[in-house]
Homo-oligomer: A and B are copies of this chain.
């Protein structure tokens, strides 16, 4: 249903669940949560409208489930990248940003949904997802703190820096076109440098 991104959610045991979740992300991403109807989702998942309710009890819970998947995938990518990076804060930040950019580019629609449609969730679901997202942000903040502590980052505004970087990276989803001038690798490299510069890391190149 989304021709350029690989599907975010892979097959699970229940036959249609992944199809529904991916269709939901596509529909909510292109038309907005309130602009997309459950019929649109059903059409995208090639199942019947009423069958959706065998998997998710409501439209809003379906959105929540889709966002949970997206968040989990993002977080695991970022954590894995940090794991594989060197021990110093700049290397870790670089790899974290690169991983994040990779996710945004690969799952552009999911990123848009995660940033724009969060507000349509039940308060509890929203709280849970915000917490989830903050966990990813925490990974960035820990790196910032480390770099500030050991002098690698000299910004006087460390507190908001991680949030700002994540905001800038997420904003990529609103303009990136896979057939555009910038390849994924270059984009990742570029944003990694933006991030380190913003943190006022002395250049090592």
Contact = CB atoms under 8 A, between A and B. Distances in A.
5 contacts: A33-B35, A155-B193, A156-B193, A157-B190, A164-B171
A82 to B, nearest CB: 22
Contacts of A191: 164
Contact of A197 (B155, B160, B163, B182): B155
A48 interface: no
Interface of A: 32-35, 115-116, 119-120, 155-157, 160-161, 163-164, 167-168, 170-172, 174-175, 182, 190-191, 193-194, 197-200, 203
Given A155-B193, A194-B198, A197-B198, 12 more contacts: A32-B33, A32-B119, A32-B120, A33-B34, A34-B34, A115-B174, A155-B197, A160-B190, A163-B175, A164-B194, A171-B171, A200-B203
Which among A115, A161, A167 has the highest number of chain B CB atoms within 10 Å?
A167
From DSSP, what is the main secondary structure of chain A's interface residues?
A: helix
A163 B190 CA distance: 13
A155 B191 CA distance: 11
Nearest to A168: B168
A203 B156 CA distance: 12
A189 to B, nearest CB: 9
A159 to B, nearest CB: 9
A194 B198 CA distance: 5
Contacts of A194: 155, 157, 161, 164, 198
Contacts of A175: 163
Contacts of A203: 200
A35 B167 contact: no
A165 to B, nearest CB: 8
A130 to B, nearest CB: 10
Contacts of A161: 194
Contacts of A197: 155, 197-200
A53 to B, nearest CB: 12
